[in-house]
Amino acid sequence: MPTQIDICNLALGKLGDEAVLSAVSPPFQSMQAQYCALFYPQALNVLLQKHAWGFATLTAALTQAATNNNPLWRYAYTLPSDYLNLITVKQPEALPLSYGGPAFYFNLDQFVEYDIQAGVLYCNIDNAVLVYVSSTLAVEANFTPLFVEALAWLLASMLAGPILKGDVGAAAAQRMTQMFGSALAAATEADGLLTVKRLKYVPAGIRGRW
């Protein structure tokens, strides 16, 4: 499984930097380690916001807040402690649908309106369900190979300026950004295919009830 060190070394390698890091925590052994420690969390958070990554996604019933201070909404919910990014808010009921093949569950998510203020989610849905990116799951041990590749290119684009500096660094950052775009497209496509398979899969025992 990849580690933060592995991904940082991969990013440095894409820049042509010969440094091989063994740690990215203070006291810093090198300039490269210091910059990796600075930019890695930002690169990871940016990439997590680019797509609803299956490996980092959780679906959970929300807990109502003790008070609702927003008169525009009927319900107020406390966001989970591991909440990073919102993907969608779902109706509590899932509707089984089938188009001549295995049935899958479909939620009327497009009809759910919501607002988030100060860590509280407001909506008009009772027993609302949240689909979100979880900090508990968004860890290196769960990263897919294509996600690692995209993250390394993005990190390399951020490291290019401070490490290479000047016009050389700017040009390298532009190249790294272009490569990141291609890597991101490949990673999201692969993750999307896995998501479709998960959505369409229904255990045989459940299918037999229909």
Q: What is the H or E stretch that residue 90 is in?
A: strand 83-90
Residue 122's pLDDT is: 98
Residue ranges of the alpha helices (H) in 15-116? 31-48
pLDDT in tens, the chain (210 residues): 899 999 999 999 999 999 999 999 988 989 999 999 999 999 999 999 999 999 999 999 999 999 999 999 999 999 999 999 999 898 887 544 444 444 444 545 556 899 999 999 999 999 999 999 999 999 999 999 999 999 999 999 999 999 999 999 999 999 999 999 999 999 999 998 865 444 433 343 433 443
- Cis geometry, peptide bond prior to residue 27 (ω within 30 degrees of 0): yes
Residue 39's pLDDT is: 98
The domains of the chain are located at 4-50+138-199, 56-137
Tracing tokens 């896995």 back to the chain, one arrives at 194
Amino acid sitting at position 204: A
The C-alpha atoms of residue 105 and residue 1 are separated, in whole angstroms, by: 32
Residue 120's pLDDT is: 97
Residue 208's pLDDT is: 40
The C-alpha atoms of residue 139 and residue 55 are separated, in whole angstroms, by: 9
The C-alpha atoms of residue 130 and residue 121 are separated, in whole angstroms, by: 10
Residue 111's pLDDT is: 67
